[in-house]
Structure 1
Amino acid sequence: MSLPRIDDPDLPLDELMTAWPQTVPVFLSHRMLCVGCMINPFHTIVDACAEYGLDEAAFLEELRAAVSGSP
């Protein structure tokens, strides 16, 4: 089974964090309550960024950096 695309706008957060657990600290660094939230199977990066007032493109870059191991 192949990994989903991290930039898929329909990718639920629970699937994102399962596929790439190294993204969890990114959420926590922004004080986002998405980790372990009962809504994360239904929310996407788009939803979370809207909820927390974050720039979606910048947040996605942070997630990509976490996945690639770049600082």
Structure 2
Amino acid sequence: MQSPSLDAPDLALCDLMDRWPETIAVFLRYRMLCVGCVIGRFHTVTDACREHDVDEAEFRAALAATVRT
């Protein structure tokens, strides 16, 4: 089985945070309530950005920068 990609459009938020725990700080910086949310099993980055009115491209760039450092 292949390792998930940070950019995978269907990656659930809980899986993203489990795989890359350093991304939790990004969610908190953007004041997104996704950390520990029960919906995180079903929501993707796209869903979360839409729900929290966050620019998805900017948010994904911040996630990628955090994972790469």
TM-score range (shorter-chain normalised) is over 0.9
Provide the secondary structure at the position in 1 that maps to 2:60.
Answer: helix
**Percentage identity across paired residues of the two chains:** 54
* 1:46 corresponding residue in structure 2: 46
Count of residues in correspondence between the two structures: 69
Contact 1:13 1:44 in 2 (8 A): yes
Q: Note the aligned Cα RMSD (angstroms).
A: 0.9
* 2:26 corresponding residue in structure 1: 26
After superposition, residues 57-68 of structure 1 pair within 5 angstroms as 57-68=57-68
Contact 1:9 1:44 in 2 (8 A): yes
Alpha-carbon distance, 1:3 to partner:
2.4
After the TM superposition, list the runs of 4 or more consecutive aligned residues in structure 1 that deviate by more than 2 angstroms. none
Structure with more helix by fraction: 2
List runs of 5+ in structure 1 lacking aligned partners: none
